[in-house]
C-alpha cells in the first residue's frame, strides 16, 4: 500500500491508533503508550516502512529526557543500595542465561542459536555483537535468526510484566510514590531536575533552547561508542542508549557548565520524553512486525517458545529477590527489572505506570552491570560451553 511507504504517515498513524487503543481499560488494566508498539507491529506486518533514523532519534530523545529527570539522586541510590541492586541484577541475568541454555538444549539448538536466544530475549544488541565475534557465516545466520525471533518476545514479555506487576503485587502505585516522596523529604527546596539545591535557589534552566539537549545527546553518543577493553582481545561499549543515559544523568546532577545551563525547562523535557517515546515505540514496532511473517513464525516456533520461557524466568527471579528477600519497594523493582533485562521499551512502560524518578534511577544503576554480565555470559558460551556441546 502506497500510504504505508511514507514514514510521515506511518508514524502519526501508529501513534494515534496506539494512544487510542492504549486508553481502553479492561478490569483496571490498560496498555497505555505500550499500545503504540503493537500498532507499529501491525503496520510492519502489513508492509509499512520507517527509516531506522526515526527509531534512533526517538530513543535518543526518550533516554535523554528520563536521564535528565533523575538528577543527583542517582549517586545516592548507588551509595545506599548498590550491593542489593548488583546482587539482584547478577541473579536476574544469570537466570536468563540458565533458562536460555536449558531451553536451547531441550529444543536442540546449537551454541549460536542459544546465544541468539539469550541476547534476543534480553533485548541486548551488544550481546548479539559479542556473540558474532569469530562465528562462521552459517553460525552468524543462525545467531541472527534466533535473535530476531526472540527479540519480539523479549520486548512484549517485559512490557506485559510491567503493566500487570502492580496487580500481581497488590500495590497502590500512588501510595508507593507518596511513601518514597516522604522518605526523600528534604528541608531544602527541591530542584526541578530531581536534586536538592544546596543554596536553596532554583536550578538554572535553558528554557526551550535545544542547545543543552543537542550537546548532551552528542556527548552521550560519542561516549557510548568508546570501546571498553575486556580480558583477552575483545572490548565492549555502552552503546548510544547507555552513553546518552549516563551523560544525561551527569548533566542533571551538575545542572550547568559554567554559565551554560544543561537542563531545558520541565515542559520541554516532558515534550521530548513523550515525542521520543512515541517515535521509538512506533519504529521498534514496525521493525518487529516486518520480521513476523507466517513462514518465519512456523519455522521458528521452538525458538519463540524457548524465548517466552527465557524472558519469564529472570523476571520472576528478580521479583522474588526484590520483594521477598531484599524488601525493595515496588517502583525501584520496576527499574531493576527493566534495567536487568536491558529493556528500553520496558522502561517506557514502567515510566507510564509511574513517572517517579525511583524507576529511572534503579534502571540507570543496574543497566551497565547487566550489559557487562550478559557479554561475560556470551563469552562463557563461546569458550566453555560450545566446545562441550561439540
Query: Cα-atom radius of gyration of the chain, to the nearest Å?
Result: 21
Sign for the CA dihedral angle at 162, 166, 169, 173 comes to: positive
The helix or strand, by DSSP H or E, that contains position 303, with its residue range, turns out to be helix 301-320
- Cell output for 196: 536538592
Which alpha helices (H) appear in 341-380, and where do they start and end? Answer: 344-353, 357-380
Q: Is the pLDDT of residue 152 over 90?
A: no
8 A C-beta contact, residue 264 and residue 109? no
The pLDDT of residue 113 is: 85
Please tell me the distance from the alpha carbon of residue 292 to that of residue 152, in angstroms, as a whole number: 9
pLDDT tens-place string over residues 86-132: 899 999 999 999 999 999 888 888 888 888 899 888 887 667 666 76
* Mean pLDDT calculated for residue range 162-184: 87
* Mean pLDDT calculated for residue range 39-63: 87
Q: Is the pLDDT of residue 200 over 50?
A: no
The pLDDT of residue 266 is: 81
- Cell output for 84: 542489593
Q: Is the pLDDT of residue 186 over 60?
A: no
8 A C-beta contact, residue 275 and residue 50? no
CA 133 vs CA 105, 136, 386: distances in Å: 22, 9, 14
* Mean pLDDT calculated for residue range 250-276: 82
pLDDT tens-place string over residues 301-325: 777 788 889 999 999 999 999 999 9
* Mean pLDDT calculated for residue range 237-251: 80
Lowest average pLDDT, out of 108-112, 207-211, 334-338, goes to 207-211
The pLDDT of residue 201 is: 46
Please tell me the distance from the alpha carbon of residue 193 to that of residue 249, in angstroms, as a whole number: 10
**pLDDT band at 15; cut points 50, 70, 90:** very high
Amino acid at each position: 500500500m502506497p500510504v504505508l511507504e511514507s514514514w510521515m504517515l506511518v508514524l502519526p498513524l501508529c501513534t494515534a491508533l496506539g494512544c487510542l487503543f492504549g486508553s481502553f481499560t479492561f478490569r483496571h488494566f490498560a496498555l497505555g503508550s505500550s499500545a503504540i508498539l503493537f500498532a507499529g507491529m501491525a503496520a510492519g506486518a502489513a508492509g509499512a516502512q520507517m527509516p531506522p533514523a526515526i527509531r534512533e532519534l526517538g530513543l535518543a530523545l526518550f533516554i535523554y529526557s528520563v536521564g535528565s529527570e533523575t538528577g543527583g539522586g542517582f549517586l545516592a541510590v548507588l551509595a545506599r543500595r548498590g550491593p542489593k541492586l548488583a546482587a539482584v541484577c547478577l541473579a536476574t541475568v544469570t537466570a536468563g542465561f540458565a533458562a536460555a541454555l536449558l531451553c536451547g538444549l531441550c529444543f536442540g539448538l546449537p551454541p549460536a542459536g542459544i546465544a541468539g536466544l539469550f541476547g534476543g530475549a534480553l533485548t541486548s544488541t551488544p550481546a548479539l555483537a559479542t556473540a558474532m565475534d569469530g562465528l562462521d557465516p552459517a553460525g552468524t545466520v543462525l545467531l541472527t535468526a534466533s535473535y530476531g525471533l526472540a527479540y519480539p518476545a523479549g520486548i512484549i514479555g517485559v512490557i506485559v510484566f510491567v503493566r500487570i506487576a502492580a496487580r500481581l503485587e497488590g500495590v497502590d502505585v500512588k501510595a508507593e510514590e507518596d511513601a518514597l516522596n516522604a522518605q526523600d523529604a528534604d528541608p531544602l527546596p527541591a530542584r526541578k531536575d530531581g536534586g536538592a539545591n544546596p543554596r536553596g535557589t532554583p536550578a538554572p534552566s535553558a528554557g526551550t533552547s535545544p542547545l543543552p539537549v543537542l550537546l548532551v545527546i552528542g556527548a552521550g553518543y560519542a561516549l557510548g561508542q568508546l570501546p571498553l577493553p575486556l580480558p583477552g582481545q575483545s572490548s565492549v561499549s555502552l552503546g548510544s542508549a547507555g552513553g546518552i543515559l549516563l551523560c544525561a544523568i551527569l548533566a542533571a546532577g551538575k545542572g550547568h557548565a559554567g554559565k551554560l545551563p544543561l537542563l531545558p525547562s520541565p515542559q520541554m523535557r516532558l515534550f521530548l520524553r513523550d515525542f521520543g517515546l512515541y517515535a521509538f515505540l512506533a519504529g521498534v514496532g514496525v521493525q518487529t512486525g516486518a520480521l513476523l511473517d507466517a513462514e518465519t513464525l512456523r519455522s521458528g516456533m521452538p525458538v519463540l517458545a524457548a524465548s517466552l520461557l527465557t524472558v519469564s524466568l529472570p523476571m520472576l527471579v528478580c521479583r522474588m529477590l526484590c520483594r521477598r528477600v531484599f524488601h525493595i519497594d515496588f517502583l525501584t523493582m520496576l527499574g531493576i527489572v527493566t534495567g536487568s533485562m536491558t529493556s528500553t521499551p520496558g522502561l517506557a512502560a514502567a515510566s507510564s505506570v509511574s513517572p517517579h524518578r525511583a524507576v529511572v534511577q534503579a534502571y540507570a544503576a543496574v543497566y551497565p552491570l547487566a550489559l557487562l554480565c550478559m557479554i561475560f555470559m556470551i563469552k562463557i558460551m563461546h569458550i566453555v560451553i560450545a566446545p562441550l556441546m561439540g
